[in-house]
Structure 1
């Protein structure tokens, strides 16, 4: 055994103690798990074992055996079973990787007679075998989560892991029976407060997740009965059907925004903004996921208070009615086709003509003119989004 590995072997017990102390100091959930003498001794024993296996295998570039991987998985399973969260698991893995690299560097400096070949050997072993070890740890961790979590919580955890680009998503997807896509769009369904509805929506979201097999996460609002449904959909998923199915199960007005991009957290932020600008609808048939192209005017108006105030005055001028805002909504939704609009509103075409004339009288804008479409369609979307409520 070369001098570098001799030094690593000599320092293994001390390095293992330093690792357990670092976990205890930096990861509060870990600290709560090792309050007992037995639990702390077990964590220390595992830390020493992993270092000794590194020293055994790295010189000849040996692979972690199935038994080794099962032992690593059992540690992940035990910690998850004791209540450790995904965030704490990620912290533990980060600290472990940083300390192992530091230990190799310290051993190299302590043994100046060590060859470059030894350093390259241990580093070449650590990267691929470390990845296999992390996969095994995640496998055990997720196994425990599956036992103590309902399906809807497992799918929510998968969604959070994908948004955070956490490698545990692969194991979570396997357990939840969700096939991961190469790329995702993020859709946010905005649900305002639901007066008189005390459901927590877990049942509806679980049914949706099982039917569509996509990552979903229902986030209740901090106050009230509203919240947002976050869905990650791939190229083969029909997001419009998913949104309509949720709206039908919900039975309350909601709006949806969708966005894509290589960074899912950025896409989530854009989808939220789009969803806030999109109109609220109760009828599932009217609800669809809006894109930036659908509401870019409304998004710009929301950031220009003086413009928004002027549009709100136009909306107030429509108040004498009858039902002029909803009439214009149907009119533009039907691409200004009179027959389709009248049918959608369940009124006679002459009644529709009367209402459109009232719009002209009250606002001075012809709903079918270029200027009328630009102004009134924005008024409709802003009004129905709830921005002025």
Structure 2
């Protein structure tokens, strides 16, 4: 005979251990349901956290229904129909709304199928091999269809919810960066700004794979891994605006976190993404977030300009450099100390290397590929033109400050 879906239905009942398989499974559904629910509670923690009435109600109900559908598949010896799986689709959609992970849902169905299979093959004999094989084929086909149906229903709902959540989080981030976050308005939309945030500004170096084929994929993977570390730190979705070059992250915190903790977070993100990260951080009250973001951007720029290594920095780490980067008469005056060297780039390069290498003439010579005596000569020329000598304690701070002021003025 032919079934509703056009498939040929074999009417001879499957027999294992002398028992009609479908009838035996139907009879054992109540006991199997209790067994499966007990396993869900002990083996899948997410189900143990659900309300007890939901577990013994909706969850037990869908386990029971699925076992009965499986029994009908075995009875008809035909695949499950869309109508057979309607309740499973609805249940998956509801679990998606509750935030139950998809892997836990699929694991629950696997436990149910495993328990059903163990029950119908108990006491199977060698002579049952053909029927066992037929039952296995039916079970595998049913489980494949079930998994596909449940996953599609779950992901459809999650896509809508994630889109709504993403839009809400983006709006909250934008309002915080603009200094217009209104707690009552955000709460009415299901989001509530925190009173305090750890504000991070991140500059991401290119990953080596970004320069090759599939570079855009490597860039997205890098960003995703950084964001995963940020999410793990706050144990939820952080407020992040990030692309391949960097961006801003707002991490809600109850109190200012230890600085070492934030440094470790940036280090983990760098390791996970496989690229260097230069970052600036500060803890700010909600209304002070825009000012903190602006200051962080300036700190990152100072760190970059002064050639410091990757890592997390705060204003206290670059106070002198930060202040010297501010426009004004003092910066202009300091920069003018090196005006006599403006047309002597060889002397400027030598001065930069000499100061950066701790006044070590040999290392300076190596870095510039010149003779140490040439370094000595150039240092004397610098003194004769500017009146300042790096080896004089009183002159050294002025030369360092003048170089920084000059670079800040040049890039401003």
Give the TM bin, normalised by the shorter chain.
Answer: 0.3 to 0.5
- Mark the structure with the bigger radius of gyration: 2
